[in-house]
Amino acid sequence: MKKEKFEIQGMTCSSCQAHVQKAVSKLEGTQNVTVNLLSNNMVVEYNENQLDNNQIIQAVIDAGYGATLSNAEKKQSPKNKSEDTIKSMKKRLVWSLIFWVPLMYLAMHHMVYEWLGLPIPAILKNVFHGTENALTFGFAQFLLVLPIVYWNRNYFIVGFKKLWKKSPNMDSLIAIGATSAIVYGIYAIFQIGYGLGHGRLDLVQRFSQDLYFESAGTILTLITVGKYLETKSKGKTGDAIRKLIDLAPKTATLFKDGKEIEVTIEEIVVGDILLVRPGKSIPVDGEIIEGSSSIDQSSITGESIPVSKKVGDTVISGTINKNGSFKMKATKVGKDTMLSQIIQLVEDAGNSKAPIARIADQVSGVFVPIVITIAILATLFWMVQGQSFEFALSIGIAVLVISCPCALGLATPVAIMVGTGKAAENGILIKTAESLETLHLVDTVVLDKTGTITEGKPKVVEIVSEIAENELLQIVASLEQHSEHPLAEAIKEKAKEKQVDLVDVTDFSNIPGRGICGTLKEKRYLAGNRAFMEENQIAISRENAKARTVIYVANETELLGEVEIADRVKNDSLQAIQNLQKNHWEVVMLTGDNRAVANSIGQELGIHQVISEVLPQDKEREVQKLQQAGKKVAFVGDGINDSPALVRADVGLAIGSGTDIAIESADIVLMKNSLLDVVSAISLSKAVISNIKMNLFWAFFYNTVGIPIAAGALYLKFGIKLNPMIGALAMSLSSVCVVTNALRLRKFKPVGARGTVPTI
């Protein structure tokens, strides 16, 4: 299967989104299609043997829209794109207002002067007042509305094009409503002319009061006001991505042949030696080869304290060198850097859809045709009731312009984009909107022990030996010399500290979850846990009463000794677990460590359910058992040996530095290596879903109440009729309100140092 991203042109509301998605989904070979109204793009997963990019683009064009293949390397930055759109909308708005103000003054000035109790100026009275000036009065309004139509011509071009393609959208509603008002106004001018020519002053008086040019101008101007405010608000939803993009410097100092050369980031290749001075951003991912410094990684991992780095340590693109110059070798450049991967993850999450959005999508697909039908039926109904055509027409126009599919389409994506962006700012990388939604349903949090609850850097704290201590250490360290397991690292570190030389091992075997064995100096040795010893008939008389992991060492017949290793609990683990329990989330510790160690740590942290001595491949089975018991499970692990459990869980959270395996296996990556971020992630999920539900409720409520009122539901009993201009204002503000409500998520504060519950 192939996955491609496309930029879509011409989408203005959720109906557009639904039409594009439907058109592409019909193509044979498509597996999954996601269209995002907010960012105007589409991600298509398809079988490249059945379909190609050109066919997908053509399907979008046939639906009445434009499409181009997204170029991730050369595409315009979100900041520039947003600024260009805002600038264009502002220009339209300013020119619309320049002509709308005199249009409204001309159409309504007599009402204003009467209300203020002032005489109408002579120039206005002589030129525009009375039946003898009715034609001038009407034609002047017509001339003033034309520039407004011109500056907002896109509504008509797109709206009628979509109507012709049988995929009407919001622009179609605006175009039909405004055109109806203008056409009726032109008809009224002809009637005024006819009345003046034939002495029919009743016609002149009647039609000069029902010109509707000011309604058309107001509808277009107010909707443009709403669009401008909406565009400005939508621009803020991408702040997080823009901040991430801006982290990477544009240039770097290349050290070549003893000279310093200023180069662009694009020119750097893997293996280049770069010089980074104090205060400068690190250009690409790399490894320090000379010098040392402290690095501010807060922009990537959310850590507030700078991290000390020395020769051999890795550095991340976009982080800041606080003090001390150093040379680094580039190891990852371009889209392979961690910063680029984070940006891609945040963009993908913003472009993905939460299941909760399906309701809005289903409604959006049929919304506009239904509104047009209601408008026609309402117009006919009031004509049948004996009302004038002018009355019935104003009802139809009001129905068209008050309807707002935009609010429905924006309800979910703006909240998702702001939420995932806010999470990224705090070192929480959410891969999909679906995982963000599922997280708020979690009632059970399963925690791995090593590297999750504990620091994951165990140390040898005691050696009990029947032979010389250094001899025992040589045996076990030699067996472990090719292992990268944290326990093996602790043993090798101890051997190095004691200056014990390692020897070659032959006939080496690794038994997962048990131990290792091999031949040293023509003798067979074993090292592993109690179960491994028992399986090999090695007697163990001494019980481990302390919260330590014990590696037993034996030859083929007897126990030679044991190496006791302890892994310190992280400073914030207790605080995080107490927060989880306080919020009524059940906490389970799942570990491969022995029962004594696991129970001791569980007791220390107040974890009531501890599952120990579990093999890596069995962790997934334990998670499944909890799910079968009706639990909604989040599994938190280090993303390497916990991959099966991360995948099996309803939501997998990889805690650590965001390794490739973690990003691949988990739904959410916690960059700060802190369990407090689990609390923050779940709380953020609840805040986002609550925000989406609020948005959807008000979007549905607005249309459910607004359309019947516009259709004249209150006129029969109360004599209240909605003016089309008020309808246009309400429509504009509904979208603005939805976006503004979603922007409240930017105030979300993650769990604090004292364990405060996250808030917005």
Residues tagged active-site: 448
Structure tokens at 473: 């250490």
CA distance 340 to 321: 19
CB contact at 8 A, 156 and 179? yes
Residue type, 516: I
Residues facing 33 on adjacent strands: 44
Helix axis angle for 389-402 and 358-384, nearest 10°, is: 170
CA distance 67 to 10: 9
DSSP SS3 for 3? strand
What is the chain's alpha carbon radius of gyration, rounded to the nearest angstrom?
A: 35
**Which H or E element spans position 417?**
helix 413-425
DSSP annotation of 569 reads B
CA distance 238 to 219: 29
Q: How far is CA 621 from the centre of its chain?
A: 31
**Angle at CA 435, nearest 5°, toward 430 and 437?**
110
CA distance 55 to 35: 17
CA distance 199 to 207: 14
CA-nearest of 493, 512, 534 to 615 is 512
Q: Which spans in 330-404 are helix H?
A: 338-351, 358-384, 389-402
CA distance 77 to 245: 8
DSSP annotation of 452 reads I
Residues in the chain: 760
